[in-house]
Structure 1
Amino acid sequence: MKKVFITALFACFAMLLANTSGYAQQSTKNRLGFFLGLASGDIDQVGVGGIGEFKVSKKVTISPQLLFYFPEDHGNWRHSFMEINFNANYYFYNKDIFEFYGLGGLNFTRFHWEWDGAGRNDDDGDSDMEVGLNLGGGINFEIGKNVVPFSELRVTVGEFNQFVITGGLKFNL
């Protein structure tokens, strides 16, 4: 699992470094931002995250995301989730202030739990990482020169099946 994760991470960053410098002279923009996310399904939690968006062509971007869900306590045990997404966005509509895009990519979800009850020892906890596929879409609202509000809807299919809605701000670089 670690080899798959490291290979995917390396491939995304290699594509990012190879492609963004050549397209920076175009009128397209690279962006960084943050968002709030709400997952429904196997996770059912709220989280905060960061997003990048890096143009590789006029209509395609690479969009890595990192999302931390708020931990939940269940009496004597506690669990938390974190996900890393490597998505490609295809922009199919860009008029006035609206930019609509479809997305697809890989999802890596990490689950961690700890037992905090009586008889606790150092081994009372575990974590697991699972891979899934993302499919969804989003909208950017180009209302300012540097700040871009956005929202995404995404379905992740894998060990942790979930529907995620996010909303936040991206900043043009």
Structure 2
Amino acid sequence: MKKINLIIATTLFSITFSIGAFAQTETKIGALIGYGTEIENIGIGANAEFPIMEKLTISPSFIYYLPKDESGIKINWFEVNANANYYFLDEENIDVYGIAGLNYSSIKVKYENSFGLGGDFSSSDGRIGLNLGAGANFNIGSSITPFAELKYVIIDGGQLVVAAGVKFNL
């Protein structure tokens, strides 16, 4: 749990610092809905984008997958990402970018025996992996930018994540 709190605190500090450091540029903060193929569930999350060079942004994100209950086994899963987005296509209506970065995924599994046979069981694990993917921002002429992303998390078992949402220009 201490690792999780440290990661979340570090991410929030980075976001706060970056907002102040890049206030003059097009910083974006947004919300997303995603689907993970390994957990086979929908997640909700938040992301941000902080320009550091003309075609390069730093993009932290967080996705919390909705809890699952399969045959009495409860599963909780979240991921924290630290990505770099490189914009290789910048058109009037669409901006396409490549994604590369780090991923921290945490899963907690809990079984509560309601029949009195045996005991309860709980386990959690956290893993670090790599993100590779692509995304697109759809310019609709306002301070709200819809986006879509597809990334593969290289980690035990791997996970494909499809996400879509909106980013708000600050």
TM-score, with length taken from structure 1: 0.84
After TM superposition, the runs of 4+ consecutive aligned structure 1 residues lying more than 6 A away are 1-5, 120-123
Mapping 1:12-91, distance limit 5 Å:
13=13, 17=17, 21=20, 23-25=22-24, 28-40=25-37, 42-91=38-87
Percentage of identical aligned residues: 36
Q: Match for 1:57: what amino acid?
A: M
Unaligned runs of 5+ in 1: none
CA deviation after TM superposition for structure 1 residue 86, in Å? 0.6
Q: Distance in 2 between matches of 1:48 and 1:65?
A: 11
Asked if structure 1 preserves the Cα contact closer than 8 Å seen for 2:11 and 2:60, the reply is no
Asked if structure 2 preserves the Cα contact closer than 8 Å seen for 1:39 and 1:165, the reply is yes
CA deviation after TM superposition for structure 1 residue 126, in Å? 1.6
Q: Distance in 2 between matches of 1:148 and 1:131?
A: 30
Q: Distance in 2 between matches of 1:71 and 1:160?
A: 19
Higher mean displacement: 122-131 or 145-154: 122-131
CA deviation after TM superposition for structure 1 residue 67, in Å? 0.3
Q: Distance in 1 between matches of 2:41 and 2:48?
A: 22
Q: Distance in 1 between matches of 2:61 and 2:89?
A: 22
Mapping 1:114-129, distance limit 5 Å:
114-117=110-113, 118-119=115-116, 124-129=121-126
* TM-align CA RMSD: 2.8
CA deviation after TM superposition for structure 1 residue 4, in Å? 10
Higher mean displacement: 145-154 or 52-61: 52-61
Q: Match for 2:31: what amino acid?
A: F
Q: Does 1:146 align with 2:143?
A: yes
Q: Distance in 1 between matches of 2:12 and 2:55?
A: 17
Q: How many residues align?
A: 169
Q: Match for 2:168: what amino acid?
A: F
Unaligned runs of 5+ in 2: none
Asked if structure 2 preserves the Cα contact closer than 8 Å seen for 1:88 and 1:105, the reply is yes
Q: Does 1:165 align with 2:158?
A: no
- Residue 40 of structure 2 aligns to a residue whose secondary structure is coil
Q: Does 1:136 align with 2:133?
A: yes
Q: Distance in 2 between matches of 1:129 and 1:149?
A: 31
Q: Match for 1:141: what amino acid?
A: F
